[in-house]
């Protein structure tokens, strides 16, 4: 087993998200680990164990990846990496960590038909970031979006409104192997490419293609994305296109932040964006997770809250 095989119970992520939100609202008071654990109705010991099972690192280590300083450092370090990856991605499949992602865009004629004659198989699946709605067609994945249980019906209705002419079929089995490959595969394991079917304007497609070039665990600014699609003055338009990203995580819009190192608005919530950034950074810097999730005394007693969180200065 490896870092992706340790399944997280359905409540694990929600507790993690609530804990990050608690820190965002109370970091100026320098809350202790006991305070954060109490906010999700757990003891300090059980919260620390849950967090290590989810992230692979302690909360203190994880929160380092959410600081403004870390975000700025990654933006600076990743400028040349993003440029190289983007240039390579223009002529071939883009890489998502160990994964290859290819895509095709619907033609203007197909766009006008609004999915007529297309069968879309969908299902809700557990992920490390809560449940997701995954929708697939014979030509590729057309949607991946996150949803809490109370909003599942609304999430599905929104997707159906985007493809009013398509025939929707509830078929979770079609998406299960895709979700497993994306979130629970063995590190370094060779897998077939993910193929995406995209519906959008030429500008949106161009922006989404650029996002595919941002490597796992890397961060890029809106201005950097705009520059790499040769539209350096179009950062706001790039932001709007990113906000309309139809395929979460596979098209990694969560890796785009402001040039000052702050997490910007995210379609599925800024806290979820921060969780994704920290989760990827933890794996990037620590490698495969160990099976030992029993917290040590030193981990329980170490200082907890860093001086500044990029989450707290999100725009």
Catalytic member of 132, 142, 253, 312: 253
- The answer to whether 253 is a known catalytic residue is yes
DSSP string, 56-105: SS-HHHHHHTTSHHHHHHHHHHTHHHHHHHHHHHTTSPEEETTEEEEEEE
The count of residues in the chain is 315
**Nearest-CA neighbor of 12 among 279, 305, 292?**
279
Residue 173 structure tokens:
């089995």
**Nearest-CA neighbor of 308 among 59, 17, 55, 30?**
30
DSSP string, 249-305: TTS-GGGEE-TTS-----TT-HHHHHHHHHHHHHHHHH-SPPS--PPPHHHHHS---
Contact 315, 258 (CB under 8 A): yes
Contact 225, 210 (CB under 8 A): yes
Q: How far apart are the two ends of the chain, measured CA to CA in Å?
A: 39
Residues 6+ apart with CB under 8 A from 113: 165
Active site (catalytic) residues? 253
């Amino acid at each position: 087993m490896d870092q992706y095989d340790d399944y997280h119970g359905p409540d694990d992520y929600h507790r993690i998200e609530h804990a990050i939100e608690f820190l965002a609202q109370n970091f100026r008071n320098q809350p202790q680990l006991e305070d954060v654990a109490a906010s999700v109705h757990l003891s300090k010991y059980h919260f620390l164990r849950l967090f290590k099972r989810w992230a692979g690192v302690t909360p203190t280590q994880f929160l380092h990846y959410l600081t403004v300083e870390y975000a700025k450092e990654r933006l600076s370090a990743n400028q040349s990496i993003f440029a190289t990856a983007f240039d390579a991605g223009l002529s071939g499949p883009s890489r998502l960590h160990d994964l290859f992602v290819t895509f095709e865009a619907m033609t203007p004629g197909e766009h006008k038909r609004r999915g007529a004659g297309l069968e879309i198989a969908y299902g809700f699946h557990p992920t490390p970031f809560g449940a997701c709605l995954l929708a697939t067609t014979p030509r590729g994945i057309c949607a991946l979006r996150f949803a809490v249980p109370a909003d599942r019906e609304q999430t599905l209705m929104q997707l159906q409104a985007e493809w009013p002419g398509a025939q929707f079929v509830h078929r979770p089995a079609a998406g299960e192997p895709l979700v497993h490959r994306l979130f629970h595969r063995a590190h370094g394991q060779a897998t077939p490419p993910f193929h995406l079917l995209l519906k959008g304007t030429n500008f949106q497609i161009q922006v989404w293609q650029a996002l595919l070039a941002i490597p796992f665990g890397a961060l890029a600014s809106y201005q950097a994305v705009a520059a790499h699609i040769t539209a350096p003055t179009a950062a706001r338009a790039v932001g709007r296109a990113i906000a309309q990203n139809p395929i979460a995580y596979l098209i990694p819009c969560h890796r785009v932040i402001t040039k000052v190192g702050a997490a910007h608005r995210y379609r599925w919530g800024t806290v979820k964006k921060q969780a994704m950034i920290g989760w990827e950074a933890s794996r990037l810097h620590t490698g495969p997770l160990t099976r030992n999730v029993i917290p040590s005394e030193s981990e329980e007693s170490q200082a907890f809250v860093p001086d500044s969180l990029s989450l707290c200065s999100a725009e």
